[in-house]
Structure 1
Amino acid sequence: MKKIISLSIVSLALLTSCKSKQLTENKTSEKPKSKFTNNQLMDKVQSDALKYFWDFAEPNSFLGRERYHEDNIYPDNDKHVITTGGSGFGLMTILVGVDRKFIPRQEAVKKLTHIADFLEKADRFHGAWSHWINGETGKVVPFGKKDNGGDLVETAFLVQGMICVREYFKNGNQEEKALAAKMDKLWKGVEWNWYTKGGQKVLYWHWSPTYGWEMNFPLQGYNECLITYVMAASSPDYSIDYDTYNKGWTRNGTYLSDKEKYGLPMYVKHNGAEEYGGPLFWTQYSYLGLDPRSLSDQYIKNYFDLNRNQVLIDYKYCVENPKVWKGYGKNYWGLTAGYSRNKDGGVGYDAHFPQNDHGVITPTAALSSMPYTPKESMAFLRFLYEEKAIFIGQAGPYDATSINYNDWFTPRYLAIDQGTIAPMIENYRSGLLWDLFMNAPDIRAGLKKIGFKSEKHKID
């Protein structure tokens, strides 16, 4: 395969300007005008985030590394550890790159075909892939002692991307049609109904060939896992029924909530985060392909309202800033899971949300919320690129930042965070991934099966 090309398309002028410490002062007393339009800024951050899955992909599999560190500090085996779910986000990020002409279509098809061939040979467990895979061998890399088998949620994130790739290329040239067929075969091989642990009316997250069902983690709402039920219902050969969705995910509707925060209805009980709602990735991971606009079921009238309110609650909390962190405000907000700052000033990992707020802002939180809060997210994007260039590296905004701790940041990236930026911004701009996914015939049938409707995509 030809050497993967670098993303040098973005102009050096824009790159240099975005790296400058501050805007050039206007000679008059008037406030300086911004150097960039909103579209230029969105192009910039999308093309930057694409580099994670294009320039910095794991070199043998071409899939997304679990993490990439500009400071070159890795655990011994991390350079070849790929993440299944993050790679699904990466597939969609590459589609954005093709559609925006950041990368050549033909090169993308070759790379995606290589990815499909690798995944076909990689370890699978009743069709599901593991959370981590060795990018050199295709063998499982245990995420934990007992987490050494199939991971159904990570698999759902991956196949969400596969569906989008299939739909994007299915009517293309011979090579593109072959790629679409490969992705179709891979996704259809996942035995979703087997993960009901013998026919229980709920999906289970993990199964291990060594430990069986010992992790015992049923998927119950509400968190980031809705897409798992959608994919399971949509499977042509290994589908779940309506009762599995209703009893498993919604708990027969008992996951509903009448709680409000800042006058905004929360609609559902957020697992472990019922006061303010969970980390913002809950509004993103399942919705890179699944379009929440006018999406409804028997319990939720509009999933867009559910997600928008969760984002707005997070935003309003950061503006209110009850812990008085320096920097929090209308231009600097967003709490989600990612790298964090330990008490000793070192780098750790944490799931940030209002009830677990440590003064660390994760840029993907606001950026990937663009469809829900375009004004607030754009203010963050502009602040970041025009006033906080120190927080931006080779593949876009770094994973964790803190103005409070003297402009602390970690020069590191995580696939699951970087991978939602380009797709969610693109969904705001054009609806690209939402249209691809929602118009897929198998997805439409699956949504109908478990009682979903969409005015936007004429599903009823």
Structure 2
Amino acid sequence: MLQRAQETDTVLIDRLQKAAFEYFLRHTNPENGLVADTSIKTSHCSIAAVGFALSSYPVAVERGWIERSEAAERVATSLRFFAESRQGEERRATGYRGFYYHFLDMKTGHRAWNSELSTIDSGLFIIGALGAAAYFTGESETETEIRDLTKLLYERCDWRWAMNKGLTMSMGWKPSSGFLRWRYQGYDEAVFLYLLAIASPTHPAPAESFDAFASTYTWMMAKDDPYLYAGPLFIHLFSHAWIDFRGINDKHMADKGTDYFRNTQVAIDVQRDYADRNPGHFVGYGRNVWGLTACDGPIPTVHRRHSSNSRPKVLGYAARGAPLGPDDGTIAPWAPLACLPFDKQAAIEGTRAILDAYPNLLLDGRFPGGFNPTIAGKGPEGWVDDRSVAIDQGLLVMMIENERTGLLWNLMRKSPILRTGLKKAGFTGGWLDDEPTIA
């Protein structure tokens, strides 16, 4: 413990970033490239996890954690599987109309459970592939195949169908019951999804769909700043993993005198202020111990530490948020570090505060999905999720690298698809007005 207490910030970040990437080495099926949703042995594949893995491989190559040829072959294996897998309504299908079921069997790739054909998770897979294709630009057979397969997979997505005759994107579809009744409206993680949809050269969503989406935003004031509200922190991070919003803007943000990057900085301040006020009187909260987002939590049968005779209201899996909730004392310990590009000091102070207060929190060197010190457990950590989550680990790999070198941001700035989507959505300014330099 003494050695780790003396770690510099750089060494600490190195250790956590590498451990996060190693999730994909440990929990990927090498035969088909499917990535387990969580670290438990019975976990199914999450297609979003595959997307985060694909864009994490370039980071690993640049960091020297894996040879370029091995990383390229791993990426190609995943893309080959999805390109060749069954598209249809039958039970053994992997996807339909270019989209994929949220969860897949790790061995067969068939639809798992009764999971929906998920537009957002399919989008995360696609943009993850685009990130990999933007990096693997060599002339080798494998790297050429990566680019060709990515093009095929993206152009196969039937975005018009996924709009379900509306101007906003349906959240998903099931063979037995059709489209889900929910759509991506209000500020959420789907910013990137609309950009991919309207840029499609084959089955595009109408360009006005982005305005239809953004017109449902909810605004509030945070101190003296206008704040595009979303309670869970992941909403303020996911699109930013691939898109550098610094210096570019759409009319919805420009009219408020802010931008998406600044809005995430405000979201971090809101989270820290909320944790410092701690209106729910939860154990452990403080200005440097924060991170309310979507994650697993204790089931509603456990007992709150130092509570009265009344049972605590715990939420299980929930999209926790600040300042309007919901909240049950569950913290996502990886969340502060994922905010590194937006507020380096807050990210490092938050990470150190959590690890100092709860030194036994990590699982195989990686952050668990969540923990709740208000709920009695084996140690001061209280309830701790018994698994790490793939998308959390991938987000860490990418966000840390974006702060350190800007790798994913710089790669995606050159993407014709992303640039087209941003321009059709009405974004202007900064790097978007410059002609990209193709390596």
* Structure-2-length-normalised TM-score: 0.86
Measured in 2, the distance between the counterparts of 1:113 and 1:246 equals 35
Amino acid at match of 1:431: G
Task: Indicate how the Cα distance of structure 1 residues 389 and 58 shifts in structure 2: closer, same or farther if over 3 A, else same.
Answer: farther
Task: Give the SS at the match of 1:244.
Answer: helix
Query: Which residue among 400, 403, 427 is the counterpart of 1:425?
Result: 400
Contact 1:221 1:255 in 2 (8 A): yes
Unaligned runs of 5+ in 1: 1-19, 25-32, 73-77, 271-276
Q: CA deviation at 1:242?
A: 2.0
Aligned positions of 1:1-12 closer than 5 A: none
Amino acid at match of 2:202: D
Q: 415-424 or 161-170, which moves further after superposition?
A: 415-424
Give the corresponding residue for 2:319: 351
Give the corresponding residue for 1:75: none
Q: CA deviation at 1:381?
A: 2.1
Unaligned runs of 5+ in 2: 86-93, 304-314
1:304-347 C-alpha deviation (Å, 9 max, x unpaired): 11111112101111122222222212332111111112343399
Task: Give the SS at the match of 1:442.
Answer: helix
Q: Percent identity among equivalent residues? A: 25
Task: Indicate how the Cα distance of structure 1 residues 63 and 389 shifts in structure 2: closer, same or farther if over 3 A, else same.
Answer: farther
Give the corresponding residue for 2:100: 129
Q: CA deviation at 1:172?
A: 4.7
Task: Indicate how the Cα distance of structure 1 residues 335 and 254 shifts in structure 2: closer, same or farther if over 3 A, else same.
Answer: closer
1:223-243 C-alpha deviation (Å, 9 max, x unpaired): 111111011012121112222
Aligned positions of 1:116-195 closer than 5 A: 116-122=79-85, 123-144=94-115, 147=116, 150-195=117-162
1:133-166 C-alpha deviation (Å, 9 max, x unpaired): 122112112454xx2xx31111111111111111
Contact 2:51 2:128 in 1 (8 A): yes
Task: Give the SS at the match of 2:101.
Answer: coil
Contact 2:413 2:431 in 1 (8 A): no
Matched, 1:260 2:224: no
Measured in 2, the distance between the counterparts of 1:171 and 1:129 equals 28
Query: Which residue among 32, 38, 58 is the counterpart of 1:67?
Result: 38
Contact 2:30 2:74 in 1 (8 A): no
Amino acid at match of 1:296: N
Task: Indicate how the Cα distance of structure 1 residues 387 and 445 shifts in structure 2: closer, same or farther if over 3 A, else same.
Answer: same
Matched, 1:245 2:210: yes
Query: Which residue among 234, 253, 263 is the counterpart of 1:281?
Result: 234
Task: Give the SS at the match of 1:260.
Answer: strand
Give the corresponding residue for 1:315: 272
Query: Which residue among 359, 362, 368 is the counterpart of 1:392?
Result: 362
Q: 378-387 or 420-429, which moves further after superposition?
A: 378-387
Measured in 1, the distance between the counterparts of 2:183 and 2:291 equals 28
Greater relative CO (CA pairs within 8 A, separation 6+): 1
Contact 1:370 1:425 in 2 (8 A): yes
Contact 2:337 2:396 in 1 (8 A): yes
Measured in 1, the distance between the counterparts of 2:365 and 2:198 equals 36
Q: CA deviation at 1:278?
A: 1.4
Give the corresponding residue for 1:368: 338
Contact 2:247 2:431 in 1 (8 A): yes
Give the corresponding residue for 1:17: none
1:76-133 C-alpha deviation (Å, 9 max, x unpaired): xx34x10011221121222221121112221111111111111112322111111111
1:27-63 C-alpha deviation (Å, 9 max, x unpaired): xxxxxx9522222111111111112111122454332
Task: Give the SS at the match of 2:96.
Answer: coil
How many matched pairs? Answer: 405
Measured in 2, the distance between the counterparts of 1:61 and 1:263 equals 51
Measured in 2, the distance between the counterparts of 1:210 and 1:350 equals 26
**RMSD, matched Cα:** 2.2
Task: Give the SS at the match of 1:418.
Answer: helix
Contact 1:88 1:161 in 2 (8 A): yes
Q: CA deviation at 1:173?
A: 3.1
Contact 1:295 1:304 in 2 (8 A): no
Contact 1:242 1:451 in 2 (8 A): no
Query: Which residue among 60, 66, 86 is the counterpart of 1:97?
Result: 60
Task: Give the SS at the match of 2:186.
Answer: coil
Contact 1:325 1:404 in 2 (8 A): yes
Measured in 2, the distance between the counterparts of 1:327 and 1:454 equals 42
Matched, 1:443 2:418: yes
Task: Indicate how the Cα distance of structure 1 residues 395 and 183 shifts in structure 2: closer, same or farther if over 3 A, else same.
Answer: farther
Matched, 1:225 2:190: yes
Give the corresponding residue for 1:30: none
Q: CA deviation at 1:65?
A: 0.7
Give the corresponding residue for 1:57: 28
Give the corresponding residue for 2:69: 106
Task: Indicate how the Cα distance of structure 1 residues 336 and 170 shifts in structure 2: closer, same or farther if over 3 A, else same.
Answer: same
Task: Indicate how the Cα distance of structure 1 residues 59 and 176 shifts in structure 2: closer, same or farther if over 3 A, else same.
Answer: closer
Measured in 1, the distance between the counterparts of 2:50 and 2:223 equals 36
Task: Give the SS at the match of 2:388.
Answer: strand
Amino acid at match of 2:281: V
Contact 2:248 2:428 in 1 (8 A): yes
Amino acid at match of 1:334: G
Give the corresponding residue for 1:340: 297
Measured in 2, the distance between the counterparts of 1:331 and 1:255 equals 29
Contact 1:448 1:459 in 2 (8 A): no
Measured in 1, the distance between the counterparts of 2:154 and 2:148 equals 10
Matched, 1:39 2:10: yes
Task: Give the SS at the match of 1:201.
Answer: coil
Contact 1:192 1:238 in 2 (8 A): yes
